[in-house]
């Protein structure tokens, strides 16, 4: 029975991948742009998933890291003319270092306390951007005229040709999924799930819980920062309002609704939360109401998310008897 189930599951995933790869053939520009946003938020959700999903840390300030990546990209690109895709690792690094500095004193906080502090964090970043810190963020107006990315001499304009940008984002999403899958199924991923399950038992089993929490923040922030590059280069204009508290809430919802700690769950969460409202545009003002009700119902009847994580399999049978040693 479980075999049948997993077969069905694989079939659905394959159908989704097929749909995703062929979408530009039959969807118009508008819907491709919706899918672009789904892809951006899927990556953001996956990066938050490392902190919130595996690590169980209630972090509601993820937009701060996203903002830092996007602003790093915009500033370096405009001031020094460096091509945007080259800035991507630097944007990740800036966000990662920022996470290291701000997360260090707060990671020992639990649940609701961490939540409140991280909300403060995203607000501080937004207000600092509005107030034009160091005179380089352009204040409330933001920064205009960021270059579009170019790959092998091809310029990919996210506004004129969302279909081209779509493939760039798809490649990034694909790489993210593969790398994070490998991360989840490793000593590192396990350590985060241990400390999420029972922090005292994890520490008592020899796991440096403080270090893993910190590194989870750094990796999550690094990825959000890189996603910030792709966002800034896509719309070529960024302002503080793109990185409000609400953005953090959306990312948080994507992870919780889709399935904390589950890669397919988070992707589904991004599809539902970013994509679905676009389908119901005809409902006008009721669409957010319906959306809210759907969220509440979900949380009551399926609190673990739509696709909860599957317990990982270990190749116990592949081991030679001589390898099973004390």
Q: Which is nearer to other proteins, 292 or 312 (CB)?
A: 312
Specify whether the backbone of 139 is left (phi greater than 0), alpha (psi in -120 to 50) or beta.
left
Of 117, 113, 103, give the one whose Cα is nearest residue 51.
103
For other proteins, the closer of residues 203 and 278 by Cβ is 203
* Residue 261, φ and ψ in degrees, nearest 5: 80, 10
Nearer to other proteins, 210 or 306 (CB): 210
Output DSSP code: residue 108. Answer: T
Q: How far apart are CA 85 and CA 69, in angstroms?
A: 12
Smallest gap from Cβ 52 to other proteins, in A, equals 16
Q: Closest approach of Cβ 185 to other proteins, in Å?
A: 8
C-alpha–C-alpha distance, residues 305 and 303, integer Å: 5
Please list the alpha-helical segments (H only) found in 236-286. Answer: 245-258, 263-270, 276-279
- Minimum Å distance from CB 210 to other proteins? 8
**Secondary structure class of 170 (helix, strand, coil):** helix
**Minimum gap (Å) between residue 319 Cβ and other proteins:** 5
CB atoms within 10 A of CB 278: 15
Specify the residue, 35 or 173, whose C-beta has the smaller distance to other proteins.
173
Cα–Cα dist 233/219, whole Å: 22
Q: SS3 for 151?
A: strand
């937009």: which residue's tokens? 63
User: Given the complex with other proteins, which of 117 and 202 has the nearer CB atom?
Assistant: 202
Residue 107 C-beta: closest distance to other proteins, Å = 14
- Distance of closest approach, residue 4 Cβ to other proteins, in angstroms: 19
How many CA atoms, within 13 angstroms, populate the side-chain half-sphere of residue 232?
A: 35
Which residue, 296 or 316, has its beta carbon nearer to other proteins? 316
Q: Where does this chain bind other proteins (CB under 8 A)?
A: 179, 182-183, 185-191, 193-194, 197-198, 200-209, 215, 219, 311-312, 314-316, 319, 323-326
102: which residues sit within 8 A by CB, 6+ positions away? 121
CB closer to other proteins, 14 vs 201: 201
Contact of 274 with 41, CB cutoff 8 Å: yes
> Closest distance between other proteins and the C-beta of residue 310, in Å?
11
């Amino acid at each position: 029975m479980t075999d049948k189930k997993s077969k069905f599951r694989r079939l659905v995933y394959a159908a989704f991948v097929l749909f995703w790869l062929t979408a530009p053939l039959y969807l118009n520009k508008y819907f491709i742009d919706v899918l672009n946003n789904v892809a951006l938020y899927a990556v953001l959700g996956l990066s938050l998933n490392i902190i919130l999903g595996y690590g169980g840390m209630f972090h509601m300030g993820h937009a701060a890291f996203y903002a830092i990546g996007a602003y790093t990209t915009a500033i370096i690109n405009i001031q020094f003319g460096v091509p945007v895709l080259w800035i991507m690792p630097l944007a990740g690094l800036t966000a990662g270092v920022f996470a290291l500095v701000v997360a260090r004193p707060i990671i020992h906080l639990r649940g609701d306390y961490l939540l409140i502090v991280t909300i403060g964090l995203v607000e501080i970043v937004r207000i600092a951007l509005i107030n034009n810190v160091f005179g380089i963020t352009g204040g409330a107006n933001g920064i205009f005229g960021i270059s579009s990315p170019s790959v092998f001499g091809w310029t990919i304009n996210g506004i004129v040709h969302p279909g081209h940008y779509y493939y760039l984002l798809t490649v990034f999403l694909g790489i993210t999924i593969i790398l994070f899958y490998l991360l989840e199924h490793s000593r590192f991923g396990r350590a985060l799930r241990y400390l999420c399950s029972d922090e005292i038992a994890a520490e008592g089993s020899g796991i440096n819980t403080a270090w893993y929490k910190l590194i989870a923040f750094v990796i999550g922030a690094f990825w959000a920062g890189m996603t910030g590059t792709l966002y800034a280069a896509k719309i070529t204009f960024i302002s503080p309002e793109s990185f409000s508290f609400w953005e953090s809430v959306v990312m948080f919802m994507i992870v919780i609704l889709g399935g904390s700690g589950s890669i397919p769950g988070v992707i589904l969460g991004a599809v539902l939360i970013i994509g679905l409202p676009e389908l119901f545009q005809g409902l006008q003002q009721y669409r957010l109401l319906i959306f809210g009700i759907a969220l509440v119902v979900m949380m009551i009847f399926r609190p673990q998310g739509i696709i909860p994580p599957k317990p990982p399999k270990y190749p116990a049978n592949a081991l030679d008897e001589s390898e099973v040693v004390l």
